[in-house]
């Protein structure tokens, strides 16, 4: 066993122990269901911002995006632009109102419970349907993250896929199960910092490796001048599809739940600045890392890169001491684990708060509900682990349109619930179903999905159906009107304070 290997393994072990320690700290601070599911609405702006970013990006930021840029050039950067715009608009238009509205509407602690309380849906169908959508999509999503963790250990340390799968799963399950939302948020914050530092350090030191900016640019041109163009090889619908990824933000439960957990509306502005700053610099770091990689391997033709998605890891190992390179590996693992944990806690919330409590209408104690929440994390984890065990491509294909599924099913409804008085429960349910079905059908027809990303028709149809059905079924409800006005009043009050 080489010294380099041991240094890198030591860095990963330190990282894993740190995550478990944070989980234990959060466990000591978790007293009731609101603590477990929403951190007691106590998150500061920095934790909110970085935890939302880390939960969002996953391994795509450190592997998927650099790999795509390395192969195809800057034409692949349109997706990063779309995501940055979408995230900014989400922070600007959704975060403050959702934080306030969820508190006004019976202190809702999940997205499905918020929709039920906001629209006064006594049938509970809307809450149950949205809970089921979250449960199904996120179980597969979590499974995909576990697959990524197994593959990471297999490719980085030569361990078997199943050994890596079990190690990643056990650590994530442990700190999520015991520490709940606080553990997920604090670990995501630390993981976000690791990812950020890694994506700054690799390109900053890497540019010296390739001889500076002008030499790096010239080396890329020698490979293919089109790699530096954002338009060569791009089609109009291709650019629209890439930028449209930003639409997905409005409906991602594991991201927008952070807005509900921040300490106050006033702090959403600071969180937005931190979050978008983190995101823009991280995405830029990922893009520059790929470009430096193109230049480096052009300048060193004797060295082969077998997997373009490993360009970040390869450069980290070339540039830094093995222990620092191990921290770079930990950054990739952090990206994977932060997303798994965020999705686990939202799925647990859907099971307990939106399905169990809605169907059985029990009045258990907070302590019992927290226990059920932990059992829900364990149950979902076991199911996801079983799906991941076979390392099948089916799950990964499902994840490719899960982002679009959530964006189309929940995005238009969340926006309309915050800004339109006439939204009805039947309209919301109709739009949710149409959005999800459109994404599933469109995403499985090759000729359609190869030309236009399924979130575009899914989001638009969901929006249209929700508005039309709501107008057809709208009846004025004094309680809804009062809560809408009260939310606006409290938001205005917060503005005058700041």
- Among 207, 171, 480, which residue's Cα sits nearest to residue 330? 171
Are the C-beta atoms of residues 65 and 286 closer than 8 Å to each other? yes
- Greatest extent of the chain over all pairs of C-alpha atoms, in Å: 74
Residue 470 covered by a domain = no
Residues 6 or more apart whose Cβ sits within 8 Å of residue 80: 65, 283, 286, 287
φ, ψ of residue 262 to 5 degrees: the values are -65, 150
pTM: 0.92
Place of tokens 């004094």: 478
**Domain of residue 48, CATH code:** 1.20.1730.10
What are 120-172's pLDDT values in tens digits? 999 989 998 998 888 887 887 888 888 888 888 887 888 888 998 999 999 99
In eight-state DSSP terms, residue 354 is I
Q: Which helix (H) or strand (E) holds 9?
A: helix 3-28
- Among 207, 230, 233, 231, which residue's Cα sits nearest to residue 295? 207
Neighbour tally for 468: CB within 10 Å: 13
Burial of 213 (0-12, 13-18, 19+ CB in 10 A): exposed
For residue 325, CA distances in Å to 20, 37, 65, 289 come to: 22, 35, 20, 15
Q: For residue 265, what are its two tokens? A: 């509306």
Residue 57 covered by a domain = yes
Residue 413 covered by a domain = no
Q: Which domain, by its residues, includes 17? A: 3-391
Are the C-beta atoms of residues 126 and 358 closer than 8 Å to each other? no
φ, ψ of residue 444 to 5 degrees: the values are -105, 5
Residue 412 covered by a domain = no
Residues of the chain with pLDDT under 70: 1, 361, 392-400, 498
Residue 451 covered by a domain = no
Residue 84 covered by a domain = yes
Provide the domain count of the chain.
1
Are the C-beta atoms of residues 112 and 359 closer than 8 Å to each other? no
Residue 448 covered by a domain = no
Are the C-beta atoms of residues 257 and 276 closer than 8 Å to each other? no
**What is the reported pLDDT for 74?**
95
Residue 496 covered by a domain = no
Q: In a 3-state reduction of DSSP, which class is residue 43?
A: strand
């Amino acid at each position: 066993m080489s010294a380099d290997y041991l240094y890198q393994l030591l860095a990963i072990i330190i990282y894993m122990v740190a995550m478990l320690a944070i989980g234990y700290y959060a466990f000591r601070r978790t007293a009731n269901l609101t603590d477990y599911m929403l951190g007691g609405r106590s998150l500061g702006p920095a934790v909110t911002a970085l935890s939302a970013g880390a939960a969002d990006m996953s391994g795509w930021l450190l592997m998927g995006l650099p790999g795509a840029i390395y192969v195809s050039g800057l034409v692949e950067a349109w997706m990063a632009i779309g995501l940055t715009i979408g995230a900014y608009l989400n922070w600007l238009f959704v975060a403050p109102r959702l934080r306030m509205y969820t508190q006004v509407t019976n202190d809702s602690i999940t997205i499905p419970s918020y929709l039920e309380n906001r629209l006064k849906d006594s049938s509970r169908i809307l809450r149950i349907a949205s809970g089921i959508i979250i449960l199904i999509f996120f179980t597969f999503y979590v499974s995909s993250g576990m697959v990524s963790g197994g593959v990471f250990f297999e490719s980085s340390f030569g361990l078997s896929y199943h050994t890596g799968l079990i190690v990643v799963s056990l650590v994530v399950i442990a700190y999520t199960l015991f520490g709940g939302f606080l553990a997920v948020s604090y670990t995501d914050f630390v993981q976000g910092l690791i990812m950020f530092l890694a994506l700054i350090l690799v390109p900053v030191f890497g540019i010296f490796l390739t001889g500076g900016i002008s030499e790096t640019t010239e080396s890329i041109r020698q490979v293919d001048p089109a790699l530096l163009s954002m338009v060569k090889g791009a089609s109009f619908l291709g650019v629209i599809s890439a930028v449209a990824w930003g639409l997905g933000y409005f409906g991602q439960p594991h991201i927008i739940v952070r807005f509900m957990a921040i300490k106050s509306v006033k702090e959403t502005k600071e969180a937005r600045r931190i979050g978008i700053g983190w995101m823009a610099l991280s995405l830029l770091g990922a893009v520059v890392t790929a470009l430096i990689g193109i230049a480096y391997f052009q300048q060193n033709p004797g060295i082969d890169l077998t997997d373009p998605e490993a360009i970040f890891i390869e450069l980290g190992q070339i540039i830094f001491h093995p222990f620092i390179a191990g921290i770079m590996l930990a950054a990739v693992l952090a990206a994977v684990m932060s997303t798994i944990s965020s999705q686990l806690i939202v799925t647990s919330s859907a099971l307990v708060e939106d399905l169990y409590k809605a169907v059985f209408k029990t009045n258990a104690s907070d302590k019992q509900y927290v226990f059920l929440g932990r059992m829900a994390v364990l149950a979902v984890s076991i199911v996801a682990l079983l799906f991941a065990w076979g390392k099948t491509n089916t799950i990964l294909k499902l994840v490719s349109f899960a982002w679009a599924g959530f964006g189309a099913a929940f995005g238009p409804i969340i926006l309309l619930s915050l800004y339109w008085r006439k939204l009805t429960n039947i309209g919301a349910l109709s739009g949710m179903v149409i959005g999800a079905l459109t994404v599933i059908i469109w995403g499985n027809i090759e000729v359609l999905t190869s030309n236009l990303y399924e979130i575009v028709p899914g989001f638009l149809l969901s929006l249209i159906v929700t508005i039309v059905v709501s107008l057809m079924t709208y009846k004025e409800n004094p309680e809804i009107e009062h809560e809408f006005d009260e939310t606006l009043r409290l938001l205005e009050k917060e503005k005058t304070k700041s």
